[in-house]
Copies of this chain bind each other. A is one copy, B any other.
Amino acid sequence: MTRIRFQRSLDDLKEKLLVMAGLAEQAIQRAVEAYRVRDLSICDLVSRSELAINRLEREIDQSALDILAMEQPMAIDLRFILAVIKINADLERVGDAAKSISDRVRTMESMAVADLPVDIPRMAALASNMVRRALQAFIEADPEMAQSVLSMDDAVDGMNRAAHITLAQVMGTESHLAPQALNALMVCRSLERVADHATNIAEDVIFWVKGADVRHKASVDAAKVAAAQAD
C-alpha cells in the first residue's frame, strides 16, 4: 500500500468516526426531547439510531483491523488507530445511554406530569456539548480543546450530584411523585455517563496527540497526596 493510499484509509476511518459521533449526539438530543415532551414516536427514532450506531461500530472496528493488517503503521499512526478504536467504543455507549433515557420515557407514559426541580435539558446540552467538543478536538488534533472537555466534566458531575440530592428529597417528602423523581434521577445518571464518555474521548485525543497518557492523572495525583499524608 502506498503512503498516499494508507493516508486515505486513515482519513476514511476518521470520516466514519465523525458520522458515528453525529449519530450518537443526535440520539442523545432526541432522547432528551422525548423525555421533555413525552413523545414515544421520538423514542422509536432513538431505537433506530441505536441499531445504526451498533452497525457502524462494527464497521469502524473492522476498518481499523484492516488497516492494521495491511500495513505496519508508524507509532503516531498506531496511536491514532488505537484512539479511533477506543473513541468508537465510547460513542457506541453514548448511543446506549440515549436508549436508556428513551426506555425511561416509555415507563413514564402512565404517570402524571410532574414539575420537578431539575433542569434536565440544561444538563443534556452540557453533556452533548462535551461530546461535540471532544470530537472537535479529535478532528483538529487539539489537546488544549480536549483538556477543556475534562474541566466541563466537573460541572456535569456537580449537576448530577445536586439533582440526586434534590430528587431524593422529593421522593421523601412527596411520595406520590416518587416514580417521576426516580425516572428523572435515572435520566440524570445517563447524562452523567455521556459526560464520562466524552471525558474518555478527550483523554484518548490527548494520548494520541501528545503521546502522554493523561488518563487517571487525577487519581495518580490523589494517590501521591494520600501517600504524602500517610508519611
In the bound complex, do residue B54 and residue A216 qualify as a contact, i.e. CB atoms below 8 Å apart? yes
**Contact: B86 with A65, CB < 8 Å?**
no
Does A179 lie at the interface of the complex (its beta carbon under 8 Å from any beta carbon of B)? yes
Contact A58 B172 (CB under 8 A): no
Interface residue range, chain A: 35 or more
**Bound-state Cα–Cα, A51 to B219, Å:** 6
The prevalent SS among residues of A at the interface is: helix
- Counted per complex, copies of this chain come to 2
Residues of B within 8 A of A51 (CB): 216, 219-220, 222-223
Q: A175-B172, A223-B51 are in contact. Are A215 and B82 (CB under 8 A)?
A: no
Report the nearest B residue to A179, measured CB to CB: B168
Residues of chain A whose beta carbon lies under 8 Å from any beta carbon of chain B? 50-51, 54-55, 57-58, 61-62, 64-65, 68-69, 72-73, 75, 78-79, 82, 85-86, 89, 168, 171-173, 175-176, 178-179, 182, 185, 189, 213, 215-216, 219-220, 222-223
